[in-house]
Structure 1
């Protein structure tokens, strides 16, 4: 364990802060007391974490002298006696840099025992979760969610007493019943529509014997569920800037629409609303470009279905919409209620696990047709997240970034605009074959901004502090990055003169500062060929070309124009290339090259 603790401390130093999985306290003056109890509660409620006593954050996570034996005894005691229910922790004393450090691994409680809380503060005031590098007190609503999650919630089985079966959509019900009769004839072939709705839990009888739709039945098959629950809908908002700031003219939203109706129709309408706020990017494997959306439409559809199907339907959450937020650099889907059951963020996208907060609703959506298709709204097999992750990987995008915060669940898709042609050119001087996507992004950001911090990388990527710290450390070991400063104010920069670095198991690279391998002629790049072909129409500005060919951002267009200019294939019409009057034109050499290419 000594090596593990030393590595954890190294990551803290690289991150310049505590992380979501490690809390360090100097404890030079004795046991930290209430502050540490909050961290114990937070790790038990959020995920297994590591507590280190004898490591001082204020001095850049230096190891300091402590009474390790006394601290270890006190730490084990408070885990048993000061937290309810008692928390399991493995407490050890390890030697790091010649001094003793108390290390305690606090284990996450099972879902049917949460929340863990500080006894003397009570459940509602003493329950915490871990958020990045700090411990946040749970709200009363969040405590109620954890208590509800101890068993299978049944909010979706509640009767909507003011509604009748006439408030269900006849076409949706007919298609639903027909599908059940076709797929499960032994049970539903001879059942009437009313009997079918009763059997599947879309309806039930009230105390007076009258048939009423359940909340699940109304959401899946209702004509207008928002008559009774106005906020059980979808809001789609498109922002003009990455940080929600309005444009200079005061514009706050590019689009802002509330989408109502039953879940099948909300899915279709929400996908359409998102789609009209996306742009098409060009993928250019040959002279002719292929357009594709910023994000795969089937991935967006799956995220919307998941949010509507698995959202919290408890009374305290019925005022919260499913929110889809579109930014220039990302798309986010938010819903009330975190993950339910034996599912963790680590499992998503990796293995198939079925766990439904709204079991009745999920079951109904298996046989509710998605309008305009012959398939259901949801498969309900627990494989959706695995499928969408693989789809993102197939189109060269990173995995979705998931945030699970008890009361809310957020999935974020980041655009790949940071790793554009310019950034890829910056990466050319490194052998990145053994690097993670996060390491490539860190180096691209460092090349663009000169210095990068843990916080800045987290802001761009959505990654956790510990993952960013690990990326920094790995790149330092490769001789690519060096650290500037200590503690929370530290940052990282590219090592001057750093060049090709080998992947593990490859032969030694050229010496730092050696010339990079010869780059292929610009004219061989499909992006360049598309620009040349477009300029045969007429001279054009970079902005006009960006509109014509859409090869990434305008910055990408300028990058390729400058490379073509270097090879004498295009030229500016104005003396200053950045002049508003400047247009780019084909040179005679560029026109001749196109003739050769096109035969």
Structure 2
């Protein structure tokens, strides 16, 4: 049940902003439901859910609206959700006393991916499907609706025949490498097959309407001599920028700028070489020996790029966009076309057993495509966990996830190779908010035969000065959201403090917790119970990252919910340790 205090807490940020927000819609609704309410309900159901509050006046500081009659409005709202939305919705609707009057509150849950899109029945699927954008509702594009509909069936765009191409456009060394591996792995199935029959069975080729053999899209991507002859934008671009955005510095727009064509193994090799060529490389002592430390772990970059190739959208409307790998002064971004597919969400990515493959034929082929000392991909649903572990081990902290119907991106924070300690899991060194202002923006001239690297010219001190506020603003402007900066005035929790709070790291090494996790634990320890929006405000992290960290802490039993799982009033607190049993003599 909602209380007046709950409603005040809900409305407080709206009063400050003088508007609705991403997950709350307030309407007066005096006499009747507003005409736009069906669009808002569609938007909430297609997004992350939301709360509709009727009977308050936004123009009067969200005070009760004069003349509002809650009972008929509540009944009309229930009828709207039940009879005028497809699929029908059944929200929780309450009439709540508020400041001498009453309001109607409806909690709209996000629909299951298999049921999306939710649309206004009278407008139809392609005109009546909406998504929430800040305090407004935007109509979903045909492309976005098609991506939602894909969740109901298995896409097969990767198995489409490219009839302009023929088997001569495939590289023999790659196809023979695939066949050799499959014959070793499955001799009963592929041992007696001819090469042509085996390539057809694997989805590398198929028979077209003309009766001839042609490569599939997946086959051409994996083994084509020049797939971009037929699919020009199915490539990967790499750009290294001198600053924190794409604006350039002193007339220099790029440090490096490449567009990589060819089959997947060649593109992957070229991307990894470009990242290695442009990343900073430092050194630490390992006993009497010096070893290189890398700004970004190559295996994490490889896994992220492979995932982008494997899981991107290959539908016809998406083939005009390429995968992008962008390196900035403080981060590396991998952007892919099309959002997460199936039951995988930013909240569930990496969970055991949660895996959906948009491009089944391509994914299967990449498992058998030779690359360096192994194959391109393992495809075991462990990619994100591997990326997270590698980044944590390297001092980068956890990656940031951004997901929409049209785009998915992973952002790796730079590891400070100049000051990495012996224990590289220490999250203090993943905190790229504490860097010298002018430490990494020059380019070394390498000796003959050596790759170009961005200079590591900063002093090797862990107590370097914080970057200026102007640089912070510059970063915020670039990525369009607050950065994950250290919680103001806070320090890392000591092992004793962790013990006192009943918090246990995953191992005896307290560095197993990321900086953001420790910030969140500090907040919970000091404030008792906290909601997700407050955690976003205090840490500067986006909702997807906060949600991911909350899920990890819930799974570890470190924190607990205060409300049922889908409650819009959800907040979190540190899990209270079980009381010690009292002995008979006490």
Q: Is the pair's TM-score, using the shorter chain for normalization, greater than 0.5?
A: yes
Question: Displacement of 1:329 after TM fit?
Answer: 2.4
Work out whether residues 24 and 56 of structure 1, in 8 Å CA contact, stay in contact via their aligned partners in 2: no
* Alignment partners' CA distance in 2, 1:414 and 1:504: 30
* Alignment partners' CA distance in 2, 1:436 and 1:5: 32
2:425 matched to which residue of 1?
A: none
Question: Displacement of 1:15 after TM fit?
Answer: 8.6
1:109 corresponds to 2:108: no
- Provide closer, same or farther for how the CA distance between residues 68 and 268 of structure 1 changes in structure 2, counting only shifts above 3 A: farther
Question: Displacement of 1:219 after TM fit?
Answer: 0.9
Q: SS of the residue aligned with 1:237?
A: strand
Question: Displacement of 1:106 after TM fit?
Answer: 1.8
Work out whether residues 113 and 148 of structure 2, in 8 Å CA contact, stay in contact via their aligned partners in 1: yes
Question: Displacement of 1:326 after TM fit?
Answer: 1.7
The C-alpha deviation readout for 1:227-256, integer Å capped at 9, x for no partner, is 10010000112223323223232x222222
2:127 matched to which residue of 1?
A: 125
Question: Displacement of 1:203 after TM fit?
Answer: 0.9
Work out whether residues 349 and 389 of structure 1, in 8 Å CA contact, stay in contact via their aligned partners in 2: no
| TM-score, length of structure 2 as denominator length | 0.69
- Provide closer, same or farther for how the CA distance between residues 456 and 331 of structure 1 changes in structure 2, counting only shifts above 3 A: farther
Work out whether residues 325 and 334 of structure 2, in 8 Å CA contact, stay in contact via their aligned partners in 1: yes
Question: Displacement of 1:284 after TM fit?
Answer: 7.7
1:26-41 counterparts in 2 under 5 A?
26-27=27-28, 29=30, 33-41=34-42
- Provide closer, same or farther for how the CA distance between residues 275 and 352 of structure 1 changes in structure 2, counting only shifts above 3 A: farther
1:204 matched to which residue of 2?
A: 206
Question: Displacement of 1:334 after TM fit?
Answer: 1.5
1:176 matched to which residue of 2?
A: 178
* Alignment partners' CA distance in 1, 2:576 and 2:119: 49
The structure with the largest helix share of the pair is: 1
Q: SS of the residue aligned with 1:77?
A: helix
Work out whether residues 132 and 465 of structure 1, in 8 Å CA contact, stay in contact via their aligned partners in 2: no
Question: Displacement of 1:173 after TM fit?
Answer: 0.8
Work out whether residues 93 and 102 of structure 1, in 8 Å CA contact, stay in contact via their aligned partners in 2: yes
Question: Displacement of 1:207 after TM fit?
Answer: 2.7
1:337 matched to which residue of 2?
A: 338
* Alignment partners' CA distance in 2, 1:223 and 1:25: 57
Work out whether residues 52 and 107 of structure 2, in 8 Å CA contact, stay in contact via their aligned partners in 1: yes
2:220 matched to which residue of 1?
A: 218
1:245 corresponds to 2:260: no
1:388 corresponds to 2:467: no
1:2 matched to which residue of 2?
A: 2
Q: State which structure, 1 or 2, has the greater radius of gyration over its C-alpha atoms.
A: 1
The C-alpha deviation readout for 1:554-594, integer Å capped at 9, x for no partner, is xxxxxxxxxxxxxxxxxxxxxxxxxxxxxxxxxxxxxxxxx
Larger RCO: 1 or 2 (CA < 8 Å, sep 6+): 1
- Provide closer, same or farther for how the CA distance between residues 467 and 2 of structure 1 changes in structure 2, counting only shifts above 3 A: farther
1:464 corresponds to 2:568: no
- Provide closer, same or farther for how the CA distance between residues 396 and 429 of structure 1 changes in structure 2, counting only shifts above 3 A: closer
| TM-score, length of structure 1 as denominator length | 0.68
2:449 matched to which residue of 1?
A: none
2:367 matched to which residue of 1?
A: 366
- Unaligned 5+ segments in structure 1 are 445-453, 472-502, 507-599
- Provide closer, same or farther for how the CA distance between residues 223 and 182 of structure 1 changes in structure 2, counting only shifts above 3 A: same
- Provide closer, same or farther for how the CA distance between residues 64 and 171 of structure 1 changes in structure 2, counting only shifts above 3 A: same
* Alignment partners' CA distance in 2, 1:467 and 1:64: 35
Question: Displacement of 1:98 after TM fit?
Answer: 6.8
Q: Match for 2:433 among 412, 418, 443?
A: 418
- Provide closer, same or farther for how the CA distance between residues 397 and 429 of structure 1 changes in structure 2, counting only shifts above 3 A: closer
* RMSD of aligned residue pairs (Cα, Å): 3.8
1:320 corresponds to 2:335: no
* 186-195 vs 234-243, which moves further: 234-243
* Alignment partners' CA distance in 1, 2:171 and 2:272: 21
* Alignment partners' CA distance in 2, 1:458 and 1:286: 43
* Alignment partners' CA distance in 1, 2:230 and 2:402: 30
Work out whether residues 536 and 543 of structure 2, in 8 Å CA contact, stay in contact via their aligned partners in 1: no
Q: SS of the residue aligned with 2:106?
A: strand
Work out whether residues 33 and 77 of structure 2, in 8 Å CA contact, stay in contact via their aligned partners in 1: no
* 176-185 vs 137-146, which moves further: 137-146
- Provide closer, same or farther for how the CA distance between residues 391 and 240 of structure 1 changes in structure 2, counting only shifts above 3 A: same
Work out whether residues 351 and 386 of structure 1, in 8 Å CA contact, stay in contact via their aligned partners in 2: no
Q: SS of the residue aligned with 2:126?
A: helix
1:449 matched to which residue of 2?
A: none
1:504-515 counterparts in 2 under 5 A?
none
1:69 corresponds to 2:71: yes
1:141 corresponds to 2:132: no
The C-alpha deviation readout for 1:428-457, integer Å capped at 9, x for no partner, is 66758579844867999xxxxxxxxx9997
- Unaligned 5+ segments in structure 2 are 415-430, 436-462, 467-485, 502-512, 523-532, 551-573, 578-586
- Provide closer, same or farther for how the CA distance between residues 2 and 98 of structure 1 changes in structure 2, counting only shifts above 3 A: farther
* Alignment partners' CA distance in 2, 1:248 and 1:62: 52
Q: SS of the residue aligned with 1:124?
A: coil
1:530 matched to which residue of 2?
A: none
* Alignment partners' CA distance in 1, 2:492 and 2:397: 20
- Provide closer, same or farther for how the CA distance between residues 306 and 46 of structure 1 changes in structure 2, counting only shifts above 3 A: same
- Provide closer, same or farther for how the CA distance between residues 260 and 71 of structure 1 changes in structure 2, counting only shifts above 3 A: same
Question: Displacement of 1:148 after TM fit?
Answer: 3.4
1:406-445 counterparts in 2 under 5 A?
406-415=405-414, 416-419=431-434, 421=463, 422=465, 427=489, 431=493, 437-438=515-516
